[in-house]
Structures are given as C-alpha cells and as structure tokens.
Chain A
Amino acid sequence: MNRTHSALLSFMGIAALGGCGSALGAANEVVIGDIDDLSGNYADVQGQGGIEAIKMAIADFGGTVLGRKIVLLTADHQNKPDVGASKAREWADQNGLNMLIGGSNTGVSIAMAKVAGAKKVPFFAVGAGGSSLTNEDCTPYTIHYSYDTTSLANGTASTIVKAGGKTWYYITADYAFGTQLQNAASKVVEASGGKNLGAVRAPLGASDFSSFLLQAQGSGAQVLGLANAGEDFSNSLKAANEFGLTKSMKPAALLAFINNIHSLGLKSAQGLYLTTSFYWDLNDETRAFSKRFFEKMKAEPTMDHAGVYSATLTYLKAVKAAGTTDPEKVMAELHRAKINDMFAKGGYVRADGVMVHDMYVMQVKSPQESKYPWDYYKLVKQMKGEEAFGPITGLCPSARR
C-alpha cells in the first residue's frame, strides 16, 4: 500500500521538478525575446533567418549594453495565438524580458501585443502585417516596424490601378492579416477609381487553391489580388499559373518576399508588382548587410530579416541613450529618436506606434532582364513614409491624446 503511494508521490515530484523552470533573469542581463513561426507557413520569411539577423545585430552592437550582457530567447509560436501569448507572458514573468520581437502572423502578434502591453514590455511587431496592431489593437508599448497592410496596399494597389487594372477579385488568407490586407487594398482600389468584384477566403496553409481560383476566374475581374503571404502566396500563384489564369487575369502580390520570388522563379513571377521596405540590391549599405547575411543563411535577406536586424539595433540604441531598460523611458526615447541605419533613413516612430519609413514599389524582372543571381526587382517608385503609411487614423486610444 505504502509503495503505491510513494510511487505516486515521486511522480508528483517529477511533475513539480518540471514546473521549476528557469530562474528569473539576472539583473546584469538585457533579455530580448523572439517569438516567430519557426516551422510553418511563414518559417522561410523570417524564422531562423530572423534569429540569425537578431544575433548579427547583437554582435554588431558589441554584445553588451550599459555593461549588461544581451541575451536572446527564441520560441516557435506554431501560428497559434495562445502559444505565442503564453510564451511571452512566461518570459515576462520568469525571465525578466526587456524587449519582445514578434515575428510573422498578425493573429499571434495581436495576442502577444496585449500581453506585452499588460506587462509593460516594448513590443516590436516585425513580420506581422495587420495594421490593427497600431489601430484598434494598439498599446503604448507596440512598435510596428517593417511594413503594414496600409503601406502595402498604398504601394501595390494604387500602382496597378493606375496601370489599368481596374477590376479586382481577391484570394484572402482567412485570418486577421488577410482580411485587413484585403480591406486596405479594396479601399485604395476604390479611391483610385477601380472596382472590387469580390473575394474568397482560403484557410491559412491551404494546399489546394483550385476551387478558389475557379471562383476568381468566374468573377471576370482583371486583377487577381493575392491577400496572403509566405507559402500561401507561392502556392496560390503557382496554381494560378498552372490553371492558365494568369493569361486572363493579372496577379497582384499584396505581400511578397524575395524568397517567395526565388522559389517561384522569374518565369512564373515576372511582371508582378509588389511593395517592400527593403531590397538587398538597393545601395552599398544594403548590399554589405546582405552579403554578411547570405554567408550565414545562403539566401538574400527578406524585408523582415532586415527589419528585425534594424529593430534590435534601434532598441539597443534607445536603451543606451536612455541609460536604462525602464520601459517607459525607453519607449519615450524610441518615440523621440530618428532611425538611420541600412534599413531606414530618417525613420521615426509615430504616436500610434507605426515606424514611418520609405517603402519601395517594385516590379519583378523578366528572366532576360535578370543579370546575376537574386537580381529580381526593378524599382518602380520610392514612396515617402508619410505617403506609404498614411495619416494617423485615430483608432488607437494612446495616439489620440
């Protein structure tokens, strides 16, 4: 009888030991956490490359700030809001988290932003697009860094409507990001004199786009707006090519990354308009960063890789300038200082948390135009930050005061 219960007790003991997680972050450390999709649909857009870029930024900064060692924690949110939010909370409670970087997936980022806001941890949304992060879901601690759905739509949709693509039909990723991207694009299309004929929502990570493409074809629209990202984007565009849909409709990438274009190949992707905040071949500074990144990851950096590098440096610079990791003071410094590095020139953080910087409308080159490996984009237009990100909407309470 006793043996039974001692066995049970030892079992509980094991469970308890499992519960004793890592100790609280030491006071001589600055803890940066990165929670991203490391295994799913968006893993190639940022993922491991993003972790590498953060490490590069920490190394470039010297590995310490204010004499404290900079520590990086990483986790895979598996595209589940509950996983991301619980991890963020755990780090804030247990590991003394000082800065949180949210990777791809708007749904997860919204959940993490809420936790970071409650725990007063500066939160940099880098890979997530949804502009609600700085509107109805904003907190005083969120900074939306690389791009958002507003700037993407302002770039791509207006360019295409001006080029004659007047009627649009959308294939939309069925969650926060997709709907926000579609809504933003629809508004821009209408404002520029075009017409929206309809939309179909496809689940995140769908493998078969045929029925959605047939619906799009049936609409008779001129432009096929792809309000999705990552592998969803590649798969839907590939399928559209295979169906011959691209002969009757012009595909528009509302969000495409350079690695998507690389995997699609220029033959399928040529002529595509897209908007990006970073291209590796823009100038000497971007080429220098990209060369170092390429050595590590064997691929040119996406705008998220560059963004996450810049975000880490920006945070560390703000800590140094503020002389403390106190979240209020660091946020004040972040809102005050201009951001000048290889990613952004004269960028600044607006009251609602948007990091305003120039965006580039690009067109994918044809195979003949491409002269060397990864020579994929030609610049159509450089948009000023104010034009790209638009005015403050007033939906964010902390920006209204």
Chain B
Amino acid sequence: MNGTRIFYVLAALFALCVPLFGIYPIFMMKLLCFAMFACAFNLLLGFSGMLSFGHAAFFGSAAYATGWLMTAHGCGPIAGVAAGVGVSAALGLVVGALAIRRQGIYLAMVTLALAQVVYFVCLEAPFTGGENGLQDVPRGALAGLLPLKSDLVMYYAVLAAFVAVYLLIRRIVHSPFGQVLKAIRDNENRAVSLGYDIDRYKLLAFVLSAAIAGLAGSLKALVLGFVTLSDVTQANSGEVILMTLVGGSGTFFGPVIGAALVVTLQEYLSDLVGGWVTVIIGAVFVVCVLAFRRGIVGELAARTFRR
C-alpha cells in the first residue's frame, strides 16, 4: 500500500504546483472537470455495473442551470453551482427511476433516449440561447469574499472540489452501501436473494452519479464562462464512456487518467490534425479494447497483483 500512498502524495504535489510549471490553468481546470465527470460516470459503470449512454444530460443541464442563474439572475457561484447540482440530481432521479427498471443495453437505450430529450429542450428552450448557448457567465466571488476572476484562485477552487469529490467517491465505494452496489454489479440475483432492495441502491447510485456529473458541468460553466450545446450532446456522453474505459473502469484513478489522456489529445491534436482527432481517439479506444481491456490503470493494477 506504500506505493499507492507515494503516488497520491506525488500526484497531490503535482496538482498543487501546476501553476509553477507554466501549464495553462484553464486547460488544467477543464481537465479536472472532465476527470470529475468521468469519476461520476465510473461510480455508475465501474462500481454499480450500469452503463448510461446519456450522462451528458446531467453534465449539461447543470451547466445550463448554473449559467442561466448566474447571468440572468445574478446568483453567486455557490448558489449557482448548488442549483446546478440540484437540477442534475433531480434529473438523475427521474431518468434513474425509469432506467433502472431495465438492465444492460435496454438501460443504456433508455438513458440515451432521455438524454436526447434533454438535448432538444436545451436547443429549443427560450433561456438556453439555442445554437449560441449562454455567453459571459460571470465567475463571481466565493462566499462574497474570494474573487474567482483570477485563473489561479479558480484553479485551486476547482482542485479542492475535485479532491473532495474523489474522496467522497472512495468513501461511498468503501461504505456498506458501496459494497452492496458491488454485490449487485457482480450478481444481481444473489443480492436480491440476500434481501437487499436493489432498486433503492441502484437509484441512489444513479442520483449520486448524476449529481457529481452535474457538479463537474457547473464548474466547467464557471471556468470557461460559457455553456453551449456541446455540453449536452451525445458526443459528450460518448467521450465520458471513452475516458472511463481507457483509464480503467472500476478503478479509482483510472477515469482521471482517461480524462487527462482524452482532453490532452483533443486540445493539442486538434490544432495539428483538425477533424482527424476523432479518428485518432477512436483508434486509441480500439487499441485499448483489443490490448488492455481493463484500461490503463486496471491493467497496471492487475499486473502488479499477478506478480
């Protein structure tokens, strides 16, 4: 366990010192938001065994809620983000309640269909700005004191939120509740026969995942200062699946690595190769599925375990 601890200490040091390395803070914040999004997705897929094809709906609806409240109603960042998380959690409750009645591909299709509904609402609703999206979302000041306008302050705020979420997910998974989730993932019938009301567990997992995805979306809206349809599109749902699987579903740090890989590739390849970036990321995914099915972190962990 010592190695893991060293790794976390080094990762934390790296994260704290990012501004010293001259790394573009907005890029790091975007990366952290997507890492948080992937962790939320992983809670559902990796630890509860439910594959959602529509997670962008939670990410995007929270982003729109935050963006709208802060631009049109002058809410502060905490109220805005809290409202965003609330909206995505409520949406998660509705979508989850409908989706968990089915399993496997049917569950995925239900989430996909409902996410498309959310997409069209965001496209047509009067307050979302349609194809233009919401612009000029202010960052405001944290608790009225700490102005988030500086990228540096914002970075540490996002980092703090990310660390809190990461620890929360670890706590959830290690709790008795998390153990039941894993049991349901591994053998649903057995969990039923042991007397667990599995629908409740699944629904709570769904709502938690949606809420965390929403937090990621709300923070992204604050960081970049705009919310657009890209946040709610099907492509975004697909990307988070990719991040989780490439990094390693069912591992704690895997989604973070996956998100880092995908966001970095998108950011720096799009200048070089333009539209080909989709093809390259697709190829990475194919290689991942063929060569290391457990994902990067999953595979490394499995090798260590074997040795």
Contacts and interface: CB of A to CB of B under 8 A. Distances in A.
A75 B271 contact: yes
Contacts of B130: 175-176
Given A4-B304, A18-B264, A86 B26 contact: yes
B56 interface: no
A399 to B, nearest CB: 18
Interface string B210-250: 00000000000000111010110000000000000000000
Given A5-B4, A93-B26, A204 B133 contact: no
Interface in B231-280: 231, 253, 257, 260-261, 264, 267-268, 270-271, 274-275
Contact of B3 (A1, A11, A174): A1
Given A8-B257, A107-B131, A15 B24 contact: no
A387 interface: no
Contacts of A81: 131-133, 135, 226, 228
B296 interface: yes
Given A81-B133, A82-B133, A85-B226, A8 B24 contact: no
Given A38-B274, A39-B274, A8 B133 contact: no
A93 B24 contact: yes
A8 B260 contact: no
Binding site secondary structure of chain A: helix
A20 B261 CA distance: 14
A111 B7 contact: no
Interface in B1-60: 2-4, 6-7, 10-11, 14, 18, 21-24, 26-28, 30-31
Contacts of B21: 16, 19-20
B24 A19 contact: yes
Contacts of A82: 133, 224, 226, 228, 230-231
B301 interface: yes
Nearest to B137: A114
A12 interface: yes
B303 A16 contact: no
A18 B2 CA distance: 29
A175 B6 contact: no
B136 interface: yes
A241 interface: no
A111 B260 contact: no
Interface residues of A, number: 44
A368 B26 CA distance: 58
Nearest to A76: B274
A393 B231 CA distance: 34
B267 to A, nearest CB: 7
Interface residues of B, number: 48
A204 to B, nearest CB: 7
A76 B270 CA distance: 9
A110 B132 contact: yes
Contacts of B131: 81, 107, 174-176, 204
A175 B132 contact: yes
A4 B26 CA distance: 29
B275 A16 contact: no
B146 interface: no
Contact of B300 (A4, A86, A111, A118): A4
A90 B135 CA distance: 16
B151 interface: yes
B113 to A, nearest CB: 20
Contacts of B274: 38-39, 76
Contacts of A78: 275
A7 interface: yes
A324 interface: no
A229 to B, nearest CB: 14
A114 B135 contact: yes
B287 to A, nearest CB: 15
B207 interface: no
A86 to B, nearest CB: 6
B226 A9 contact: no
Nearest to B269: A18
Contact of B261 (A15, A110, A175, A176): A15
B14 A4 contact: no
Nearest to A115: B225
Interface string B281-304: 000000000000000110011011
A370 interface: no
Interface string A81-118: 11101100110011000000000001100110011001
Contacts of B151: 93
Interface of A: 1-5, 7-9, 11-12, 15-16, 18-21, 23, 38-39, 75-76, 78, 80-83, 85-86, 89-90, 93-94, 106-107, 110-111, 114-115, 118, 137, 174-176, 204
Interface of B: 2-4, 6-7, 10-11, 14, 18, 21-24, 26-28, 30-31, 130-133, 135-136, 151, 224-226, 228, 230-231, 253, 257, 260-261, 264, 267-268, 270-271, 274-275, 296-297, 300-301, 303-304
Given A12-B257, A93-B151, 4 more contacts: A15-B31, A18-B264, A90-B24, A114-B225
Please name the 6 residue pairs, one residue from A and one from B, whose CB atoms are nearest each other, closest first: A175-B131, A19-B23, A18-B264, A5-B7, A1-B3, A15-B260
7 contacts: A5-B4, A8-B297, A20-B22, A85-B224, A86-B30, A176-B132, A204-B131
